[in-house]
């Protein structure tokens, strides 16, 4: 047998795997995963042994132990006798509350400022530009410290509080607002409100789906508005005003009654909203300006009014560009809420990754849970925005 014949013959046994590109690629990936898994297991075993030698908890049973500390803001019942798991829920709910309010206010302010930047009024456009350039170029942490230390802490004492409309009071101990109190029959008002919103959305969808003419579409919009306004009011009156408000009243050196919003909470929501709104404003401005001017001219040539052209032509194309960037800003706001620890707001990081970690010493478990929570919240927000963005995606015929 010649040398050329032996070289051309395929290898026997398992050696042929190395000469097949697909098999070789799969084999290398399996070896990499196996090596990574072996290193991870070795690291976990080593860390566990060192933690046990130092008396540090190696499981999650510490969550059932008594916390022994108070939290000055809690959306659920909590006391020093509650468990660490309860403290985790308090911090998680406080973080979700800040995130929800921050996203709402940032969206409203950001879209308003973004549209103001496109205004033909020179003063309005320049003021909007000054807002954007001023806030987005200053670090967020400095803005939080400014709102907390320079704006809210110097406010007067409760006896010299600023009295705002609708029974709201502002002082150095926080923002005091009336507290809603439900009476028997309040459930019917809530059900009526939900039914009215669903009916309004259904009428709106029907108007768009059937592509009604302008007079008929305006009629459906009026009916939808009437549903949202009249039905809850009728249920409220028919049930005998089952929802009342308890106004805060000054008694001694502080207010009693109502709902107290901590200065740390107000500073955090204010700072996150205004800072993120500056970036959202630029995204909105860029998205609208990215729509070619010819699209507006074509809409006008078809006889569409300015409002119809904006709603049917410009807005869908602009939102197709805005939504992906808007998602990034939403995720940034949620993660930036962890800066609450610098102004003393009891969020997830301060309560769980701060106090609980220091008391239990379970650093690995606490940090792992905290990172997993932020990951899940970010993935849920991203999924929701991706589903919303499908409304404006281009569909192939």
Q: What is the pLDDT of residues 191-215, one digit of tens each?
A: 888 888 887 777 777 766 665 555 5
* Closest C-alpha to 337, from 251, 250, 264, 249: 264
Confidence of residue 270 (pLDDT cuts 50, 70, 90): very high
**CA angle, residues 304, 308, 312, in degrees to nearest 5:** 105
The reported pTM is 0.81
Most confident of 103-112, 245-254, 294-303: 103-112
**What pLDDT, on a 0 to 100 scale, did the predictor assign at position 97?**
93
**What pLDDT, on a 0 to 100 scale, did the predictor assign at position 209?**
63
**What pLDDT, on a 0 to 100 scale, did the predictor assign at position 337?**
92
pLDDT at 273 exceeding the cut of 90? yes
**What pLDDT, on a 0 to 100 scale, did the predictor assign at position 39?**
92
Confidence of residue 163 (pLDDT cuts 50, 70, 90): confident
Start-end of H helices in the chain: 3-8, 16-19, 21-53, 84-117, 122-136, 140-145, 186-210, 214-238, 263-289, 293-301, 306-309, 315-336, 348-350, 357-360, 363-389
Average pLDDT over residues 308-332: 85
Tokens coding 326: 């808007």
- Measured CA to CA, the distance from residue 14 to residue 21 in angstroms comes to 14
**What pLDDT, on a 0 to 100 scale, did the predictor assign at position 333?**
94
Other C-beta atoms lying within 10 Å of the C-beta of residue 289: 13
């Amino acid at each position: 047998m010649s040398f050329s014949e032996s070289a051309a013959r395929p290898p026997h046994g398992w050696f042929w795997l190395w000469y097949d590109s697909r098999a070789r690629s799969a084999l290398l990936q399996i070896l990499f995963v196996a090596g990574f898994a072996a290193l991870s297991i070795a690291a976990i075993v080593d860390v566990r042994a060192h933690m046990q030698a130092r008396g540090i908890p190696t499981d999650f049973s510490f969550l059932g132990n008594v916390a022994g500390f108070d939290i000055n803001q809690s959306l659920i019942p909590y006391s020093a006798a509650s468990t660490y798991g309860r403290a985790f829920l308090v911090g998680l709910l406080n973080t979700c509350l800040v995130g929800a309010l921050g996203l709402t206010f940032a969206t409203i302010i950001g879209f308003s400022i973004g549209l103001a930047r496109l205004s033909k009024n020179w003063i309005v456009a320049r003021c909007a530009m000054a807002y954007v350039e001023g806030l987005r170029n200053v670090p967020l942490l400095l803005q939080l410290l400014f709102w907390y230390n320079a704006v809210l802490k110097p406010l007067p004492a409760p006896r010299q509080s600023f009295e705002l409309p609708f029974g709201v009071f502002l002082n150095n101990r926080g923002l005091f607002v009336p507290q809603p109190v439900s009476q028997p029959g309040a459930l019917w008002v809530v059900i009526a409100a939900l039914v009215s919103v669903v009916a309004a959305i259904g009428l709106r969808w029907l108007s768009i789906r059937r592509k009604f003419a302008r007079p008929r579409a305006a009629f459906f919009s009026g009916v939808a508005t009437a549903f949202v306004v009249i039905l809850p009011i009728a249920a409220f009156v028919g049930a005998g005003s089952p929802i009342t408000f308890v106004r805060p009243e000054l008694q001694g050196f502080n207010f009693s009654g109502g709902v107290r919003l901590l200065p740390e909470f107000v500073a955090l929501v204010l700072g996150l909203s205004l800072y993120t709104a500056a970036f959202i404003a630029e995204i909105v401005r860029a998205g609208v300006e990215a729509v070619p001017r010819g699209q507006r001219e074509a809409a006008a040539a078809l006889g569409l009014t300015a409002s119809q052209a904006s709603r049917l032509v410009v807005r869908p194309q602009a939102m197709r560009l805005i939504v992906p960037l808007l998602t990034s800003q939403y995720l940034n706001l949620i993660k930036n809420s962890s800066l609450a620890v610098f102004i003393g707001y009891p969020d997830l990081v301060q309560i769980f990754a701060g106090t609980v970690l220091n008391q239990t010493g379970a650093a690995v478990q606490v940090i792992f849970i905290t990172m997993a929570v932020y990951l899940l919240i970010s993935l849920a927000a991203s999924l929701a925005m991706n589903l919303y963005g499908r409304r404006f995606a281009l569909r192939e015929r």
